[in-house]
Amino acid sequence: MAQQQMSSSQKALMLELKSLQEEPVEGFRITLVDESDLYNWEVAIFGPPNTLYEGGYFKLSLMLISRGLQQKETSTHEQCGAGAAHLKCTLLQQSVSTVKEKLSYPQMFYFFQAHIKFPIDYPYSPPTFRFLTKMWHPNIYENGDVCISILHPPVDDPQSGELPSERWNPTQNVRTILLSVISLLNEPNTFSPANVDASVMFRKWRDSKGKDKEYAEIIRKQVLATKAEAEKDGVKVPTTLAEYCIKTKVPSNDNSSDLLYDDLYDDDIDDEDEEEEDADCYDDDDSGNEES
């Protein structure tokens, strides 16, 4: 049973990884922390242009953890109680435009890193999502854990202020999580802060329409700090909207399946034909031998 669960979560993760590498989510780059471990993903996030995070380079992690461990971690999430973030999946475009109106910063680009951990019964249980880059954000804990309702298992917990229907379900996937995270970066949810100080500071910044610069300054410093990280990693952070928005490539890697198909139906058929002809000859020879 355990083995079967392993293989079904592995199959789901393989498919997701393949799909995210062929059709990436804008601003994200996904790699495995260790090539042999599908449950442990590293995510690099580039700060979206025209936002406070523009020019940033952030690292996140997605990893396998045992069920027990996961529940423990979840309970720390739940401590934000009424605080848990209700993330309405705002479109990236929308969040980009909102912040653009509020503030414009000199061209600087941000890079974050994060890890995603997957449970063994994925997609029936949610992964955890943790920033490796230090983040000052109302909905990100000091340890980097992100507080988003779709990352919480759908238990009935009226204290949390989250409906079960706003939580994880197996049709969610890494793509939907990444979209939620990128929209959360730009539109913090102040109704349920994981970092109360950051939330208060963000509200001051927002309500003063950018005049109270404390929040923006902290983020600007963090953005600058990520620049060194990106250079160390040899990563070129996109600096224009055009670079940020990945052009969907004409499927080149996609051909792998076509190649297989071609092999089967072109080369092999030719070979088989030849073999068959050869075989016929031998048959004739054989029958000849039999007669003699």
Partner 1 sequence: MRVKVRSWSGVASWLWVANDENCGICRMAFNGCCPDCKVPGDDCPLVWGQCSHCFHMHCILKWLHSQQVQQHCPMCRQEWKFKE
Q: Which residues are catalytic?
A: 147
Cα dihedral across residues 167, 173, 177, 179: positive or negative: negative
* Selected binder of partner 1 within 31, 170, 254, 282 (CB under 8 A): 170
CB 4 to partner 1: min, Å: 5
Indicate the residue among 125 and 128 with the shorter CB distance to partner 1.
Answer: 125
Please report whether residue 11 would count as binding partner 1 according to CB under 8 A. yes
**Cβ count within 10 A of residue 216:** 17
The interface region with partner 1, picked from 4-12, 89-97, 174-182, 283-291 by CB under 8 A, is 4-12
Token pair 């929040």 in the structure block, residue: 215
Instruction: Decide whether 123 or 238 has the Cβ nearer to partner 1.
Output: 123
The 10 Å Cβ neighbour count of residue 273 is 10
Residue from 89, 155, 241, 281 binding partner 1 (CB under 8 A): 155
* Helices marked H in the chain: 2-22, 67-78, 92-102, 174-186, 196-207, 214-232, 241-244, 255-262, 268-291
4 binds partner 1 (CB under 8 A): yes
For the CB of residue 3, give the shortest distance to partner 1 in the complex, in Å.
10
The CA distances from residue 18 to 25, 52, 222, 253, 256, in Å, are: 12, 31, 32, 10, 12
Per CB under 8 A, which of residues 105..134 are in contact with partner 1? Answer: 123-124
Q: Which residues bind partner 1 (CB under 8 A)?
A: 4, 7-8, 11-12, 15-16, 123-124, 154-156, 164-165, 169-171, 173
